Amino acid sequence: MNHQEELVIADLSGFFRAFEWVNAKCDNGFTFRVECVDGNSDVESAVAKQFASENALEISVKETGYSREFMSKILIRWLLCYLNDEVARDRLQDARQNFSLSHPELYAQLLNPVLDAIETLVPIRSAYTIELTTKGFYACDSDDIVIAGNDRMLFLHFSVSD
């Protein structure tokens, strides 16, 4: 990975960290991570290695295909949980509808730079969803996504533990 790509990963990580913090105001224990792995094109082995520390009893890898629509749904679900989660006790209330992210038609302005960064980092071949069965606690709810290129993979993790 070159220096410019390292900066893109750092930008994505910081962006995700900021939304962890925002979402922690309506629920606890959000974790959003991005990790780039070079030199591997075998998705199954890369996933097994990536999740080895999770005490996985079973790892299921399902190819979903990549599209901006697919990734946007995942990003909206997690990054904007503080707006959209109907059961969150303390979700943001925008009574006057002044906050731009209260309007779904404006989500693309937030998400397009994230999607552009993903597509810049990985010449996308496909996308995969990962399901884990672990010996211990992993998360109350999570989405683990692998964006696979020819010799690089981007691992995206979104979860809440409370």
Question: C-alpha angle with apex 154: 6 to 110, nearest 5 degrees?
Answer: 80
C-alpha to C-alpha distance for 98 and 101, rounded to whole angstroms = 9
Q: What is the mean pLDDT of residues 42-69?
A: 80
More confident residue, 8 or 88: 8
Domain ranges of the chain: 3-86+100-160
Q: Is domain 3-86+100-160 in CATH 3.30.300, yes or no? A: no
* Alpha-carbon distances, residue 132 vs 25, 31, 69 (angstroms): 27, 16, 24
Measured in Å, how far apart are the chain's first and last C-alpha atoms? 35
C-alpha to C-alpha distance for 113 and 132, rounded to whole angstroms = 29
Cα diameter, the chain: 50
Average pLDDT, the chain: 83
Please report the pLDDT score of residue 119 as a whole number: 94
- The dihedral built from the CA positions of residue 74, 157, 141 and 95, taken in this order, carries a sign that is negative
Phi and psi at residue 133, in whole multiples of 5°? -115, 120
Please report the pLDDT score of residue 52 as a whole number: 64
Q: What is the mean pLDDT of residues 77-92?
A: 71
3 has a pLDDT exceeding 90: yes
Share of the chain above pLDDT 70, in %: 81
C-alpha to C-alpha distance for 9 and 36, rounded to whole angstroms = 8
110 has a pLDDT exceeding 70: yes
Please report the pLDDT score of residue 139 as a whole number: 64
133 has a pLDDT exceeding 60: yes
Residue pLDDT, tens place only, 17-41 = 999 998 887 767 888 999 998 877 7
More confident residue, 144 or 93: 144
